Amino acid sequence: MADTVREIERKYEAGDATGTAHLPGLAGAGPVARVTDPDTAELDAVYYDTADRRLAAAGITLRRRTGGTDAGWHLKLPVASGTRDEIRAPLSDDLPRTLTSLVRARTRDAPLAPLVHIATHRETRHLLAADGTPLAEASADAVTATRLTGGADTARWSEVEIELAAGQDPALLDALEPHLCRAGLRPSAAPSKLARALKETGFDDPPAPAAAPAPGRAACAGDHVLAYLREQVDAVTALDAGARRGTEDAVHQMRVATRRLRSAFRTYGKVLDRHVTDPLGDELKWLAGELGVARDREVLAERLREGIDAVPRPLVRGPVRARLRIWSGRNHAEARRRVTAVLDGKRYLALLDALDTLLADPPLRPAATRPPGPVLAKAVLRDYERLAGRVEHALSTDAGQDRDVALHEARKAAKRARYAAEAATPALGKPAKRFARRMKDVQSLLGDHQDSVVARAALRTIAGQAALAGEDTFTYGLLYGREERRAADDERELPRVWAEASDERWREGLTA
C-alpha cells in the first residue's frame, strides 16, 4: 500500500566561498512566532534509475531510505516548480511494484538499478505560528553523496531546506526567503539532492530533449509540427502516473493529448508522411478509446446527478439516487481496472516506443522544409472546409438518429480544426488563436448535444434495470424528456453559433 504526501519546499546553499549552509534564526520572520529546538537524524538513501537516467531527466526520484520518521521507499513526481508528490511504500528489500508501475512509461523495459548513495546528517527545527500551528520544517543538511556505478566518486556539501507544513500557503516561502538570503544563503541551483549528486559525482548530463522553435527564430514548417508533437508525447508520458493513481483529470488530459497527436498526423500530412503516421494514428485511436471508457462514464454520471438535483423533490420517485450510485460505482471500478490493464500492456508501451522513434527520425515530406506560415495555414483552412461540409450536412438532415450521427461527426471535425489552429498558433499568432476559439465554441455546443444523446441511452439502461427490480421509473422518463429538450435547444442554437464561427473575418489572417 502506498501513501501520498504533497511536498512544497525550497532548497538553499551557501552564498559564499565557505560552502557551509547554516540555518539562521527565523523567529519573527513573517508569521513565524517560535522555532523549536533542533531534532537530529541520520538519513541513509539509495537512489534508483535506469542506466541512462530517464527518471532524473524527467525530474523524478526513486529512493530507498532508512533513518528518520519516514523510512521506506519514496517516489517523487514533479507537480510544479518546488512542488512534488511523494508517494511512499513500506521498507522492503525489493523495488515495490506499486511505485515502479508509476514510472513504467519512463523506464519501459529498462531495469532500475542503484546509482547514488546519499547520507545526510539532518538538524530539523519546526516553525510555529503564535497559536502553535506548524507552519514549516527548516532543516540544515550535511550531505555526502557517493556514486555506485562506474567508479566511487564522492561529493560533500551542506544545504538548507524549508518545507511547508500540510495546508500552509506557499506565500510563506516568499516571506522567509529574504531572511535566508540576508543570512548568506541563496536558492540552490539544483532542484534536488539527487540532481546535485549526479552532477558532482561525475555523471554526464542526460541528453536534453529537442527544444521548440524559439520565438522570432527562423523555423520551417517541420520544426513547428515536430515541436507540437513532442509536447503532446511528453504530456502522455507525464500524465501516465496520474492516470494510474486516479488523479483528477489525468485520464482526460492524457486522452486529449492522444487525440491531439492523431489529429496532427492527419492535418499535417503534407509535413509528415502518412504512410508512417497512419498506423500510429490507429494505435492512438485505440488508446484514446480505452481511456475514454473511464472519462466518459465519469462525465455521464455527473450529468445524471446534476439532472436529478434539478428535479423537484416530489418528482423524484423511487430509489433513483441509490440506483445511479450503484450503476456509477460499478462502472467506475470497471473503468479504473481497464485503464490500469491498458497502461500495463505491451501494446501501450510499444506505442510509446514508436512515438519516440518517430520524433527521433521523423518521416518529413518536402513541405516540412518550407516557411511555416503558408504550409500550416493551408492545413488549417483545409480542416475548416471539412468542418463546414459536415455542419451543412447535419443542418440539412432530418431530426432523429441520422441527425444525431451527423452532428457527432461535425463535432469531431470541429475538434480537429481547433487542434490544427492551436498547433499552428506559434507560427501564425493571434489569427490562429482567435480561429481556434471560434472552433471551440462549435465543438462545445456539439459536445453538449452528444452528451445528451449518450445520457438518454444510459437512462434507458438504468430505467430498464429499475423496472426489473420493481422500482418506479417515472423519474427516469422525466430526465429523458429533459435531455431531449436540451438536445433540441442545442440543435436550434447551432445555426447561430456556426454563423458566428464561420464568419470570414476569423479566417482573414490565416493566409495560405
Question: 95: which DSSP letter?
Answer: P
| Structural domain for 388, as ranges | 221-506
pLDDT value of residue 359: 96
Q: Are residues 190 and 230 in the same domain?
A: no
pLDDT value of residue 17: 60
Q: How many CA atoms lie within 13 A of 236 on its CB side?
A: 26
In a domain, 207, yes or no: no
Q: Are residues 483 and 439 in the same domain?
A: yes
Rounded CA gap, 226 and 211, in Å? 10
Question: What does DSSP say about strands 154-164 and 3-14: parallel, antiparallel, or unpaired?
Answer: antiparallel
Q: Are residues 190 and 229 in the same domain?
A: no
Work out the angle between the directed axes of helices 250-267 and 274-309 (0-180°, nearest 10).
140
At 140, which CATH number? 2.40.320.10
H-run or E-run covering 462: helix 430-468
Q: Are residues 381 and 237 in the same domain?
A: yes
Q: Cell digits for 95? A: 523495488
pLDDT value of residue 215: 45
Scanning 87-220, the segments in alpha helix (DSSP H) are: 97-100, 104-107, 171-182, 193-200
| Nearest Cα to Cα of residue 192 among 282, 49, 83, 310 | 83
| Nearest Cα to Cα of residue 500 among 417, 440, 425 | 440
Domain stop point among 171, 200, 229: 200
First-last CA distance in the chain: 56
H-run or E-run covering 73: strand 72-80
Decide if 501 contacts 438 (C-beta within 8 A): yes
In a domain, 209, yes or no: no
Residue 411 makes CB contacts below 8 A (sequence gap 6+) with: 442, 443, 446, 447, 449, 450
In a domain, 512, yes or no: no
In a domain, 210, yes or no: no
pLDDT value of residue 207: 60
Q: Are residues 263 and 121 in the same domain?
A: no
Identify the three-state secondary structure at position 466.
Answer: helix
Q: Are residues 452 and 354 in the same domain?
A: yes
Q: Are residues 152 and 21 in the same domain?
A: yes
At 474, which CATH number? 1.40.20.10
Q: Are residues 40 and 172 in the same domain?
A: yes
pLDDT value of residue 213: 54
Counting Cβ atoms within 10 Å, is residue 306 exposed (0-12), middle (13-18) or buried (19+)? exposed
Decide if 12 contacts 138 (C-beta within 8 A): no
Residue 432 makes CB contacts below 8 A (sequence gap 6+) with: 376, 380, 421, 422, 424, 425, 509, 510
Q: Are residues 190 and 234 in the same domain?
A: no
Q: Where are the beta strands (DSSP E) in 223-330?
A: none
In a domain, 213, yes or no: no
For the chain, give the number of residues.
512
Q: Are residues 325 and 445 in the same domain?
A: yes
Residue 437 makes CB contacts below 8 A (sequence gap 6+) with: none
pLDDT tens, residue order, the chain (512 aa)? 468 899 999 999 987 666 788 899 999 999 999 999 999 999 999 999 999 999 999 999 999 999 988 999 999 999 988 899 999 999 999 999 999 999 999 999 899 999 999 999 999 999 999 999 999 999 999 999 999 988 778 999 999 999 999 999 999 999 999 999 999 999 999 989 999 999 999 887 766 555 555 544 448 999 999 999 999 999 999 999 999 988 878 999 999 999 999 999 999 999 999 999 999 999 999 999 999 877 787 788 889 999 999 999 999 999 999 998 888 777 677 777 888 899 999 999 999 999 999 999 999 999 999 999 999 999 999 999 999 999 999 999 999 999 999 999 999 999 999 999 999 999 999 999 999 999 999 999 999 999 999 999 999 999 999 999 999 999 999 999 999 999 999 999 999 999 999 999 999 888 65
Residue 138 makes CB contacts below 8 A (sequence gap 6+) with: 23, 26, 35, 124, 125, 126, 127, 160, 161, 162
Residue 308 makes CB contacts below 8 A (sequence gap 6+) with: 316, 320, 321, 324, 475, 479
Q: What is the pTM assigned to this prediction?
A: 0.88
How many domains are contained in the chain? 2
| Nearest Cα to Cα of residue 229 among 269, 264, 272, 274 | 264
Q: Are residues 146 and 253 in the same domain?
A: no
Rounded CA gap, 320 and 330, in Å? 16
Rounded CA gap, 319 and 466, in Å? 9
Q: Are residues 232 and 171 in the same domain?
A: no
For residue 501, the tally of other CB atoms under 10 A from its CB is 23
In a domain, 216, yes or no: no
In a domain, 99, yes or no: yes
pLDDT value of residue 406: 97
How far, in whole angstroms, is CA 348 from its chain's centroid? 17
- The 3 state secondary structure assigned to 11-32 is EEEECCCCCCCCCCCCCCCCCC
Q: Cell digits for 278? A: 497512419
Residue 374 makes CB contacts below 8 A (sequence gap 6+) with: 511, 512
In a domain, 266, yes or no: yes
Domain stop point among 133, 168, 200: 200
Rounded CA gap, 323 and 308, in Å? 12
Decide if 418 contacts 440 (C-beta within 8 A): yes
Rounded CA gap, 393 and 157, in Å? 69
- 488508446: which residue's cell? 287
Rounded CA gap, 472 and 458, in Å? 17
Question: Residue 364 carries which side chain, given as an amino acid letter?
Answer: L
Domain stop point among 143, 171, 200: 200
